[in-house]
Amino acid sequence: MTRNLLAAMLLFGLLSCSGPEVKTHKSNIMDTEKQNIGSVLALYPKPMTVIGAEVDGKVNWLVVGHTGIIGHDRILVSMSKSHYTSQGIKESKKLSVNLVSREMLPKADYVGSVSGASVDKSEVFEYHWGENGTPVIDDSPLTMECDVVDIYETEGFDNFVCSIANTYAAPDVLDGKGKLDYMRLKPVLFEFPTYSYLATGEIIGKCLNLDKQPGMCAKEPMAADGIVRLSKIEVWPQYLDEYIKHVTEVGEISLRTEPGVLTMYAVAEKENPYKITILETYSSKEAYDKHIASAHFLKYKQGTLHMVKSLVLSDQMPLNPANRINNFME
């Protein structure tokens, strides 16, 4: 028996005695109920944006639904090579990315339906020039001015890799610390397969802190028959602590689960804590009717009847409807 053969037999023996055999298990995905629907790009919905750029000395606007994030300091803006706006971006190496609110959606939809090569879209939006030299839409709640640092071409598309020069935010989408609050921002989303606009969804928890924060459903916009009301309540002193538990519970559940309940903010007088005022805001009469028919409201109402000494409901008229109160939970 040769030396090499002996060595091979010894190695085989060592491997055989090194431990239990490791078995790999590969199951076929088609054994599950999932269906293979093809090589479908399914990362939707995406934030709807209006891209601003200067083309041949004139401002032009283009709706773009395909944007992305590269690392933590770059974004990608993808558009068809045939778009009129693309040539201006290639020349200037600059663009603005304007997020779309519900209020500006009709105009955004329009600039996405006509070409700047044949229609002057420069005056569709009121705008100012940003510090980086790009047009910034006044009505957009959030705009990023960008410099194009690279262009990645794919078949039929120009994909602009951009660094962010400046970010402009409307005051009402910032929290008390000056940080962006996406519960206030509520950008319009775009879903490509059906060409549909979507609203942002509910917050279901805090990342890496999931069990410690409740979620809040997405809120409806205030309609013409929306309700702003002050509920002025006086509670019998012996029931104050118990009443506070009830009113706290119904407020938390209502804000978290009812899209039409926009505000439910209870306060007590410092000098007379038995006198409580609740600021209630409902998106519509229908939302209010649903609220007072809900199980959590009926539980509150029936559970506190004997605690309430007096109740006065006083409907209010906002002096500045644009100065809305935005809810938050913590």
Indicate left, alpha or beta for 61 from its phi (over 0: left) and psi (-120 to 50: alpha).
Answer: beta
Pure H helices in 138-232: 182-185
Distance CA 186, CA 47 (A): 10
pLDDT band at 182 (very low <50, low <70, confident <90, very high): confident
In tens, the pLDDT along 235-269 reads: 999 999 999 999 999 999 999 889 899 999 999 99
CATH 3.30.70.100 residue spans of the chain: 227-315
Coil vs helix vs strand at 325: coil
Collect all residues with Cβ–Cβ distance below 8 Å to 327 and sequence separation of at least 6: 183, 216, 219, 255, 262, 263
Q: Of all helices (H) and strands (E), which one includes residue 291?
A: helix 285-292
Distance CA 37, CA 49 (A): 28
In tens, the pLDDT along 53-96 reads: 999 999 999 999 999 999 999 999 999 999 999 999 999 999 99
Q: Does domain 46-198 have CATH number 3.65.10.10?
A: no
Distance CA 25, CA 27 (A): 6
- Residue 132 and residue 165 in contact, taking contact as beta carbons nearer than 8 Å: yes
Pick the CATH number of 227-315 from 1.10.645.10, 3.20.20.70, 3.30.70.100, 2.40.160.40: 3.30.70.100
CATH 2.30.110.10 residue spans of the chain: 46-198
Q: Is the alpha carbon torsion for 63, 69, 74, 79 positive or negative?
A: negative
With residues binned 3-state (H G I as helix, E B as strand, rest as coil), the percentages for the chain, rounded to 5, are: 25, 35, 40
Q: Token pair of 157, please?
A: 């598309």
In tens, the pLDDT along 27-56 reads: 788 788 888 989 998 999 999 999 999 999
For residue 17, pLDDT over 80 is answered with no
What is the β-pairing status of strands 196-198 and 227-235? unpaired
pLDDT band at 126 (very low <50, low <70, confident <90, very high): very high
Collect all residues with Cβ–Cβ distance below 8 Å to 34 and sequence separation of at least 6: none
Write down the pTM of the prediction. 0.64
